[in-house]
Copies of this chain bind each other. A is one copy, B any other.
């Protein structure tokens, strides 16, 4: 077909338009580790049996290994030991956002990089979890527990095991999403770590509300969402097709657990992916996600969405529930203690888009109207 100019779209640029933060974290002179991808999250859960039931019996993640204190889970196409660790603990929290690096030597680079940043760094040759070898954990400049590892036990990639697939089979870990008060500050630090922005949400006054950043060539390995932080917003797993996500909703209905569906399913504006947000028994948020796009070219266009564009978070204009903006999981320091929060001082996305002082539009220049829930929150 021959394309005629389209409907109004977000701004597309060749590099990110995120303004420099007031309080920039200095760029280390050390070479950053070469991060391959987000690889697993370690979740602390308060009721291991309940969490196991949610992730194994409801979401059908695959148990690689388990003991009385922890369950190690992977997705169907994974060949490393796990993508998710459920560890029993006193307070629901996140113990680690773990990234795979390209070579064993990248662990030395991680140590040097974060040491120069003045961060607490801990390295364990035997790893912090089963199945993973030599690893580095840090309390990063934003307060998040980041892990880097190369050595990992290989397990069967179940991609061809269609005898085991279920209608909502999760096939990959896709990304993390982190809540942090100052998004531009977080972005510049992550760019120093080698990540690149693919999309973001801003307003005309120069506030940045969220940014999506990648190493592997998808829309993100992690995203930075503006809010009181450090907190974990969600961890996301991918399905093959959209009907797989619908099947998860249908199963939750059949189990009379539809109340763990927080938001969706829907189509994101940002990332163009089809999505669903669930809350696990501890309230940890899990996204199920499919079909974003390839971003691996060095000059991949950056997409900047207007915070008032009502299709940015849901392409169909369906409202975001307030809990999605306000609730997130505690993250732990390397001693296992909850990290204190820093309050966001920039504008809140929820405040500027819904409620008495906010607004959103479907078509730029036209006032919002309509019958949907959300405007009245």
Contact = CB atoms under 8 A, between A and B. Distances in A.
Contacts of A203: none
A267 B294 contact: no
A79 interface: yes
A162 B6 CA distance: 10
A377 B375 CA distance: 11
A321 B77 contact: no
B296 A7 contact: no
B317 A261 contact: yes
A240 interface: yes
B317 A259 contact: yes
Contacts of A125: none
A112 interface: no
Contacts of A157: 12, 293, 301
Given A163-B255, A167-B166, A1 B56 contact: yes
Contact of A7 (B12, B163, B216): B163
Nearest to A318: B261
B318 A272 contact: no
A251 B315 CA distance: 10
A148 interface: no
Given A159-B293, A315-B250, A3 B272 contact: no
Interface stretch (A241-249, A332-340, A342-350): A241-249
Chain A interface bracket (under 10, 10 to 19, 20 to 34, 35 or more):
35 or more
Given A243-B243, A249-B267, A311-B253, A371 B327 contact: yes
A254 B160 contact: yes
Contacts of A156: 3, 6, 12
Given A2-B63, A154-B14, A272-B159, A294 B172 contact: yes
Contact of A373 (B258, B316, B377): B377
A370 interface: yes
27 contacts: A1-B60, A1-B164, A3-B63, A157-B293, A160-B253, A161-B254, A163-B251, A163-B254, A164-B254, A165-B167, A165-B250, A172-B293, A217-B296, A240-B241, A241-B242, A241-B291, A242-B243, A242-B246, A249-B316, A253-B269, A253-B316, A253-B317, A258-B315, A258-B362, A262-B372, A265-B265, A279-B371
Given A36-B298, A77-B293, A373-B373, 18 more contacts: A1-B166, A3-B62, A7-B256, A103-B298, A160-B253, A161-B254, A162-B251, A171-B293, A216-B294, A217-B217, A217-B296, A243-B243, A246-B267, A256-B311, A258-B310, A322-B371, A327-B371, A373-B374
